[in-house]
Structure 1
Amino acid sequence: MANELDEMNPIINEQGRDVYVIDKQLPVTVGTGSAIFEIMLWVLGIIPGIIFLFMKKKAKNYLQQLQQKIQHDASQIDNYLEQRVQVLQNAARLVGQAVSLDKDVMTSIAGLRSGYNPTSSSRPELSGKVDNLFARLNFSVESYPDIKAHAAIADAMQQNNYLQREITAAREVYNDSIARWNMDINDWPTKQIVAAKSGYTTRVPFTASKETKEQARGTFF
């Protein structure tokens, strides 16, 4: 049998490959085989059927608890994002007192003050907006050494860097929970049957925004 991956005869993509997360939720489905499986358990006797009922109840409880963990992990990201927005507003106010900031920056920051109702789709969008605004604000700070030396502004930028690291860590935890969910709801027979009957779908992990990816490709030094 030939090796599936042969290092002696590799197919090399010299242009590289960019990776994108497919923003699509897939419903969990089961076929007639699963229905036959459940019927056969009852045919074999009442005990196997009852045992499987308990197994399904346990699986249902597990998936509900996992949903709560996903909600908790998402709220951690939201907490850090909210703090970053507050730091951004404070930093922009301080910088704006010293220099004339781009009106678009101030308008965008004012838009963040109107309220934030997080969802799985809006969370990455807000994160990207905050990243972009902080990058533009930091450009103004770096352009004026006197402002950069301002203790309050320096502290605000340091807080931003700390929160940015915390968001990265929180995103890893959230994505781990999402990966666990996506695997478990397709774990046949018990969890997959329960997930299909409950109408569960896969979940999309937290992804970097287009602006963040473009910044990551830029020149830093």
Structure 2
Amino acid sequence: MNKPIAYLILIIAIVVTLPIFFITIPLLIILYNGLVKKRNHVAFSFSGVDVALQNRGELIPNLVASVKAYMFHEKSTLHDITALRNKLLEVDPQSSKRFGMENELTGLLKNLMVTVESYPDLKASENMLHLQRSLNEMEEKISASRRAYNAAVMNLNNAIETFPSNVMASVYNFKMSPFFKADESARAVPILKEGFNK
């Protein structure tokens, strides 16, 4: 092979392979890093939800202890709250089962707070007022954390399902994350007529 033909082959090889190194490889790196960042953001957001849920879990024994002396008729509700709190400690933190159980616990706590209204002495107790304020603050933090988590999950799930990042997601086995969803009782429309009939 003569020298000019060798140079020509070398130049053609460089022209053909350069785009692979200067376009394709950086694109693949950017896509992979973007998926990793989104997955890590989901984990970070979930840790915020988890911390808020754990803080609420720590309030529950104090709440149950304060209410127990007054509420003889609601022992089953208190038992359900305590039992559900204990079950939550055994469930995988990022499972949809845990999300459902947390929603169930939220419903039970709301029912308990409504029931507290029937006990004027308990409702006026300084300890109970403090617990109610703390529980309301925790519910607000949980709600904000859930919104941040769901936004992070949406970004990750969109990246996993849309082209071209879905190719990298399939190759590296990125999984869709579950959303925190409201349970059916939270979707029910409250009946207000009882409050207006007084």
Which TM-score bucket, shorter chain as reference?
0.7 to 0.9
Aligned position for 1:194: 168
Task: Quickly say closer, same or farther: Cα 1:104–1:123, change in 2 above 3 A.
Answer: same
Alignment size in residue pairs: 177
Taking structure 2 as the reference length, what is the TM-score of the superposition?
Answer: 0.79
Alignment of 1:127-166 (within 5 A): 127-166=102-141
Determine the structure 1 residue equivalent to 2:25: 53
Write the deviation string for residues 11-63 of structure 1: whole angstroms up to 9, x where unpaired: xxxxxxxxxxxxxxxxxxxxxxxxxxxxxxx9x72111123122212221221
Larger radius of gyration: 2
CA distance in 2, matches of 1:140, 1:186: 45
Q: Which amino acid aligns with 2:20?
A: G
> Larger RCO: Structure 1 or Structure 2 (Cα < 8 Å, ≥ 6 residues apart)?
1
* Partners of 2:108 and 2:90 in 1: CA distance: 16
1:169 Cα deviation from its structure 2 partner: 0.9
Give the corresponding residue for 2:100: 125
Q: 2:78 and 2:28 mapped to 1: Cα distance?
A: 54
Is residue 2:65 matched to residue 1:93? yes
Q: Give a deviation string over 1:134-189, Cα, whole Å, max 9, x none.
A: 12211331001111010111111111111111111111111111111122223423
Counterparts of 1:1-221 in structure 2, within 5 Å, are 45-50=16-21, 51-111=23-83, 112-114=85-87, 115-117=89-91, 118-189=93-164, 191-214=165-188, 217-220=189-192, 221=195
Identity of aligned residues (%): 22
What SS class does the counterpart of residue 69 from structure 2 fall into?
helix
Report if the CA contact (8 A) 1:184-1:192 is conserved: yes
CA RMSD of aligned residues (A): 2.2
- Match for 2:61: what amino acid? Q
The TM-score normalised by the length of structure 1 is 0.72
Structure ranking higher in helix proportion = 2
Gaps of 5+ in 1: 1-41
Shift of the 175–101 alpha-carbon distance from structure 1 to 2, 3 Å rule, reads same
Structure 1 distance, partners of 2:133, 2:73, is 20
